[in-house]
Amino acid sequence: MEAKVTFNVDRCKGCGLCVAVCPKKIVELDMNATNRKGYHPAGVTDITQCIACASCAKICPDSIITVEKF
């Protein structure tokens, strides 16, 4: 199974909840980038390891994460 994870980077407030719940530990805050709100946005570091569990999307308080399974 393949997965696609999309983050609305401009709306991410860098709270880190998605980072904490990822069972594969592949979601991280991008410390080299800031969005227009001044936060470090989250992203997936290795999409090939994603199991499409959608834990990140479920816990996001701003619903900025979309997980698709193929």
Tens of pLDDT along 17-48?
Answer: 999 999 999 999 999 999 999 999 999 999 99
**70 Cβ partners below 8 Å, 6+ apart?**
1, 2, 3, 4
Query: Assign residue 28 a region: left if phi > 0, alpha if psi is -120 to 50, beta otherwise?
Result: beta
What b/e readout covers 1-23, taking b as 16+ CB neighbours within 10 angstroms? eebebebebeebbbeebbbeebe
3-69 — its CATH code? 3.30.70.20
Domain spans of the chain, in order of start: 3-69
Judge contact between 35 and 12, C-beta under 8 A.
yes
Share of the chain above pLDDT 90, in %: 97
- pTM for the full predicted model: 0.93
Fill in the DSSP letter of residue 47: G
